[in-house]
Amino acid sequence: MAPERRPAGATAAPRFVVQRHRARRLHYDVRLEIGGVLVSWAVPKGPTLDPAARRLAVRVEDHSIEHLDFEGVIRAGEPGGGDVIVWDRGTWEPQGTDDPAKAVADGEVHVDLHGEKLQGRFALVQTGRPQAGGGREQWLLVHKRDRFAVPGWDPEDHPRSVRSGRTNDEVAAGPEAP
């Protein structure tokens, strides 16, 4: 079932998803529902609850809301070819702003995530502009030191989909969702 489309001005908590995506290189796609789309960053090492970690997050193109539930195999040769699981999902709240789209445009957004794996306050901070020639924005993703912080927490220790319970290997072997 496709995720619910919401009218503009809906007040329900916005959603987020993190997809573990084994494309040419493994990364985790962190996507926040903002203004009717999924504003997205690719995080090569994945998000973590470890407040000492600073994770590179490369801004990538917005995705449609339908992508919230996407889990499966993207054919080789297509952009992002590889396998994808719904690694985490839930709702989120902006902190310190009621205009998260502007916060993203200004290069810094703080969020409280209410996921199954990810909890607590995260900051996304832009650190560099795209390089000439079509590079992407470089950001950092950090977990703040709050009661949800867990030193040493590694996303690779939590490899299963919160949608299906499957690993990327299991999705690759049988891409039809059970």
> Contact positions toward Mn ion, by CB under 5 A?
21, 29
Q: How far is the CB of 39 from Mn ion (least distance, A)?
A: 14
DSSP bridge pairs for 18:
30, 88
Whichever of 24 and 147 has its CB closer to Mn ion, that residue is 24
In terms of Cα–Cα distance, which of 108, 114, 115 is closest to 139?
108
Whichever of 21 and 121 has its CB closer to Mn ion, that residue is 21
Q: How far is the CB of 83 from Mn ion (least distance, A)?
A: 11
Q: How far is the CB of 87 from Mn ion (least distance, A)?
A: 11
Q: Which residues of 31-49 are buried (b: 16+ CB within 10 A; e: fewer)?
A: bbbbeebbbbbbbebbbbb
Q: How far is the CB of 21 from Mn ion (least distance, A)?
A: 4
Give CA–CA dist 73/173, Å, rounded: 9
Whichever of 81 and 174 has its CB closer to Mn ion, that residue is 81
Whichever of 110 and 171 has its CB closer to Mn ion, that residue is 171
Query: Is-contact 84 67, C-beta < 8 A?
Result: no
Q: How far is the CB of 85 from Mn ion (least distance, A)?
A: 11
Whichever of 21 and 163 has its CB closer to Mn ion, that residue is 21
